[in-house]
């Protein structure tokens, strides 16, 4: 890989712009896609690779190309700068998520409690508006406080977030669903919320709960079969 290509690739990644590094095999000629100068078939294949987020070798016009997808990091928005969020954030970072913790309570959402994690002290509805969750975003609410969690869940349900999870017991969750119904969300939308949040690993401690949450996020992202949540 020459310096020019490497610099352009690093620049695209720093700008969080999705790109594909195309390498002709076995010779090694390389180019970044999309590129208006490139053949349309190559650009189309690159677009498909970015959409599926699956790098691979493709034969295009008789030439083998390895198309390496460089998508921006997945995002995780955690509402509630609580103890479980402290445990969840490093797991999620390790799994490749750019984590933002949202909590207007500044004593909770402090740099000291969340080193190396982006923090927003906005109210969840404003923060969610600014983040505009997309299909590469997971949203988890952890506060138990309806006035913080509900607006975040309401916005998440109106987005394409691939995962929505809400901490709380079955009873808390049933009450939460009732409130969200009153905001106009239908059953199909509400079924998107994973509650109680996390895989059932009988987690007790904050790190164990953090682990169960990130495990469920990964499972949903990778289309693993998951048992339905037991209704309240």
- Give me the residues that bind another protein (CB under 8 A), please: 1-3, 6, 9-10, 13, 23, 25-28, 54-57, 66, 68-69, 73, 93-98, 115-116
Q: Measure the CA–CA gap between 10 and 6, rounded to whole angstroms.
A: 6
User: Which residues share a beta bridge with 69?
Assistant: 20
Q: Which is nearer to another protein, 139 or 166 (CB)?
A: 139
Q: Which is nearer to another protein, 6 or 183 (CB)?
A: 6
- Each residue of 101-139: b (16+ CB within 10 Å) or e? bbbeeeebbeeebbeebebbeebbeebbeebebeebbbb
Specify the residue for token string 């103890």: 83
Shortest distance, CB of residue 195 to another protein, whole angstroms?
Answer: 27
Q: Which is nearer to another protein, 47 or 126 (CB)?
A: 47
Cβ atoms within 10 A of the Cβ of 226, count? 12
Q: Measure the CA–CA gap between 153 and 2, rounded to whole angstroms.
A: 46
Q: Which is nearer to another protein, 39 or 56 (CB)?
A: 56
Cβ distance 138 to 128 under 8 Å? Answer: no
Q: Which is nearer to another protein, 22 or 153 (CB)?
A: 22
Shortest distance, CB of residue 30 to another protein, whole angstroms?
Answer: 8
Q: Which is nearer to another protein, 75 or 185 (CB)?
A: 75
Shortest distance, CB of residue 112 to another protein, whole angstroms?
Answer: 14
Shortest distance, CB of residue 71 to another protein, whole angstroms?
Answer: 10
For residue 52, whether the previous peptide bond is cis, meaning omega lies within 30 degrees of 0, is no
- Each residue of 22-35: b (16+ CB within 10 Å) or e? bbeeeeeebbbbee
Apex 157 CA angle, 152 and 158, nearest 5: 100
Shortest distance, CB of residue 201 to another protein, whole angstroms?
Answer: 22
Shortest distance, CB of residue 36 to another protein, whole angstroms?
Answer: 25
């Amino acid at each position: 890989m020459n310096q020019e290509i490497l610099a352009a690739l690093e620049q695209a990644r720093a700008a969080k712009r999705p790109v594909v590094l195309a390498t002709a095999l076995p010779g090694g000629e390389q180019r970044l896609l999309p590129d208006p100068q490139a053949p349309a078939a190559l650009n189309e294949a690159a677009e498909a690779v970015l959409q599926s987020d699956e790098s691979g070798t493709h034969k295009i016009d008789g030439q083998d190309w390895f198309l390496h997808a460089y998508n921006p990091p997945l995002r995780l928005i955690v509402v509630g700068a609580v103890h479980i969020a402290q445990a969840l954030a490093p797991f999620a970072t390790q799994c490749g998520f750019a984590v933002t913790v949202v909590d207007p309570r500044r004593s909770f959402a402090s740099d000291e409690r969340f080193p190396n994690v982006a923090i927003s002290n906005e109210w969840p509805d404003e923060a969610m508006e600014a983040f505009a969750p997309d299909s590469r975003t997971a949203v988890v609410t952890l506060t138990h406080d309806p006035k913080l969690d509900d607006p975040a869940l309401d916005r998440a349900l109106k987005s394409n977030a691939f995962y929505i999870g809400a901490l709380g017991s079955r009873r808390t969750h049933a009450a939460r669903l009732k409130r969200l119904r009153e905001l106009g969300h239908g059953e199909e939308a509400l079924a998107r919320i994973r509650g109680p949040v996390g895989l059932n690993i009988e987690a007790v401690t904050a790190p164990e709960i953090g682990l169960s949450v990130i495990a469920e996020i990964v499972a949903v992202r990778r289309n693993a079969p998951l048992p339905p949540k037991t209704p309240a």
